[in-house]
Structure 1
Amino acid sequence: MIDQAFAHIFANEWIEAWNSHDLERILAHYAADFEMSSPVIARIAGEPSGILRGREAVGAYWARALQLLPDLRFELISVLAGVNSITLCYHGAQGRLAAEVFHFGPDGKVVRGFAHYGV
């Protein structure tokens, strides 16, 4: 079960990692075999399903995204805790509203992530 303290610590560390543009720091939150789904994956990574599996594949995608968006900064709006998941709502690229759902394994690392963007 995710408690409020864990949810807020994760949220702040995740936002700070992204705002640092330090890929290793970002990836440290994820299990080696995690799965990421995002509509942006199709455009940047060329994967039509919008799903990538494994730290190496997702790391390459995020490295490319950070190159394309050198001024990327996230601003946390809210943190929502579930049973074994957290949803972060934040302003992302160009101030666009975003929400990401993170499912955690028993070791506290993200095993699945789902990104959603305002339309």
Structure 2
Amino acid sequence: MITRQQALDFAHEWVSAWNAHDLDRVLSHYTDDFEMSSPFIVAMGIEPSGTLKGKDKVGDYWRKAMVKYPDLHFGLIETFSCVNTIIIYYTSIAGKKAAEFFTLNEEGKVYKAMGHYD
């Protein structure tokens, strides 16, 4: 079970890793076989289904995104948690609002993530 403090710590570290543009640090939050879904996967021409599986594939996608958006900066708005899930609500590229939904395993690593954007 995820405590409120664990969810807050996760959110702050996740945002900090993205803002540092440190891909290895970002990926450290995820299992090797995690699954990521996002409309940006489709928009960037990476995968028409919008879903990627595995650190290698998602890492390649995020590497391209970091190059495409060199001024990428996230601003944490709120963090929500449940038994084994966390939602991070934040400002994203060009001030757009975003919410990431994470499902975590017993070790606190994300094995499924979904990005939602306005």
User: TM-score, normalised to structure 1's length?
Assistant: 0.97
- Over the matched positions of the two proteins, sequence identity in percent amounts to 47
Mapping of residues 28-107 of structure 1, within 5 Å: 28-107=28-107
Residues matched between the structures, number: 118
After superposition, the Cα gap between the structure-2 partners of 1:52 and 1:6, relative to the gap in structure 1 and judged at 3 Å, is same
Distance 1:32 1:42 in 2: 22
The Cα offsets for residues 70-104 of structure 1, whole Å up to 9 and x where unpaired, read as 00000000000011000000000000000000000
Mapping of residues 1-12 of structure 1, within 5 Å: 1-12=1-12
Distance 1:74 1:54 in 2: 23
Distance 2:45 2:87 in 1: 24
Query: Which residue type is aligned with residue 3 of structure 1?
Result: T
Query: Which residue type is aligned with residue 90 of structure 2?
Result: Y
Distance 2:89 2:57 in 1: 24
Does the CA contact (< 8 Å) of 1:105 and 1:111 recur in 2? yes
Alpha-carbon distance, 1:37 to partner: 0.3
Does the CA contact (< 8 Å) of 2:86 and 2:102 recur in 1? yes
Alpha-carbon distance, 1:45 to partner: 4.5
Does the CA contact (< 8 Å) of 1:45 and 1:61 recur in 2? no
User: TM-score, normalised to structure 2's length?
Assistant: 0.98
Alpha-carbon distance, 1:46 to partner: 2.3
